[in-house]
Amino acid sequence: MDWGMKNRMSRIFKEDGRTVMLAVDHGYFLGAVSRMENPRRTIEPLIPYVDSLMITRGVLRNCIDAKHNIPIVLRVSGGNSILDEDLSNEGITVSIQDALRLNVSAVALSIYVGAPHEHQTLINLTRFIDQAQECGIPVLAVTAVGKELEKRNAKYLSLSCRIAAELGAHIVKTYYCEDFHQVVESCPVPLVIAGGPKMKSEHDVLEIAYNAIAQGAKGVDMGRNIWQSHWPVAMISAIRSIVHEGASVVKATHLFESLKDKKR
Ligand code: R5P
């Protein structure tokens, strides 16, 4: 790995080799999703607690002050909306030049293994990797499932993550699932987990984060389960304690409870 690539990876993955990424890129196909109607208001208070932001260029340019020294993981795929039945019909939405102009630490693209546009999304990934590699920019592949949330099992995710890594992704973002260790074992690059749709209990989110890290994930890249919580700062702090301090679910839950009324 060249110095530039290593340097960008080390901005995202901290000295312990782990990362707490905040995913705020949902609007690229969901529009003004609940609690993200005003991105600046939702994202700004969380910046001090996260290691990087996964974001679109539109929200980055318009809603995040350039003074923040926060590593950016820029979403560069899209081209559909929640109104489409098939969400897999994605193309590349950002040039490598614009990603460089935005001083990103990594770029992110979705792949849709087993979906109608599987081939197109895998070729999107490889084409962008070729360009990003030239510039020393790591590429994060998201193993997207669209509306088929039931696909999230070890057999499918393992297939999807391995394909992403084989094609050259430097980081893979996937979902936590039963037997998650199988997904980790068969993926030779760092894995981070998404949170998925908002869960009823914060405790369940902390449990997933804990189990994922215990089974080898290198971090989390969660969105809705953080910023759709009534207590986003308490949530991200509790997640941080699991990822970077090795806190148990009980300890992280105590931290969450102790912070939730202090920091809204
Ligand atoms: C898809 O909308 C995006 O790639 C999100 O970044 C990803 O789904 C993670 O966010 P969440 O934890 O809300 O699932």
| Residue 16 domain boundaries | 3-194
Query: How does the average pLDDT of the chain come out, rounded?
Result: 96
- Give the pLDDT confidence of 198-217 residue by residue, as tens digits: 999 999 999 999 999 999 99
Domain presence at residue 202: no
Does position 146 have pLDDT exceeding 80, yes or no? no
Ligand 1 mean position, distance from CA 194 (Å): 6
Ligand 1 mean position, distance from CA 261 (Å): 26
- Give the pLDDT confidence of 167-201 residue by residue, as tens digits: 999 999 999 999 999 999 999 999 999 999 999 99
Q: How many domains does the chain have?
A: 1
Strands (E) located in the chain: 19-23, 52-55, 72-75, 77-78, 91-92, 106-111, 139-143, 171-174, 191-193, 219-222
Q: Please state the atom number of ligand 1 nearest to the C-alpha of residue 198.
A: 13
| Pairing state between β 72-75 and 52-55 | parallel
In 3D space, the residue among 187, 13, 219, 212 whose CA is nearest the CA of residue 106 turns out to be: 13
Domain presence at residue 11: yes
Q: What is the predicted pLDDT for the residue at 140?
A: 98
Q: What is the predicted pLDDT for the residue at 17?
A: 97
What is the average pLDDT across 76-95? Answer: 95
Could you tell me the two tokens for 180?
A: 């998650």
Q: Please state the atom number of ligand 1 nearest to the C-alpha of residue 29.
A: 2
Of all protein residues, whose CA lies closest to atom 3 belonging to ligand 1?
26
Could you tell me the two tokens for 116?
A: 């109608």
Cα within 13 Å of Cα(215), Cβ side: 24
194 in ligand 1 pocket by Cβ < 6 Å?
yes
72, 157, 221, 229: which to mutate for ligand 1, most atoms within 8 A of CB?
221
What is the average pLDDT across 116-120? Answer: 96
**DSSP SS3 for 149:** helix
Which residue among the candidates 151, 173, 218, 260 is catalytic per the annotation? Answer: 173
- Give the pLDDT confidence of 220-260 residue by residue, as tens digits: 999 999 999 999 999 999 999 999 999 999 999 999 999 98
193: Cα separation from own chain's centroid: 7
What is the average pLDDT across 58-85? Answer: 96
How far is it, in rounded angstroms, from Cα 159 to Cα 73?
24
- Catalytic residue flag (residue 263): no
Domain presence at residue 55: yes
Domain presence at residue 205: no
Q: Which residues contact 17 (CB under 8 A, 6 or more apart)?
A: 190, 218
Domain presence at residue 183: yes
- Give the pLDDT confidence of 215-231 residue by residue, as tens digits: 999 999 999 999 999 99
Does position 11 have pLDDT exceeding 80, yes or no? yes
Ligand 1 mean position, distance from CA 26 (Å): 6
224 in ligand 1 pocket by Cβ < 6 Å?
yes
Domain presence at residue 220: no
CATH number at residue 50: 3.20.20.70
pTM confidence score: 0.95
Of all protein residues, whose CA lies closest to atom 2 belonging to ligand 1?
26
Domain presence at residue 206: no
Give 3's pLDDT tier (boundaries 50, 70, 90).
Answer: very high
Instruction: Indicate the DSSP class of residue 197.
Output: S
Ligand 1 mean position, distance from CA 225 (Å): 10
How far is it, in rounded angstroms, from Cα 51 to Cα 240?
10
Domain presence at residue 225: no
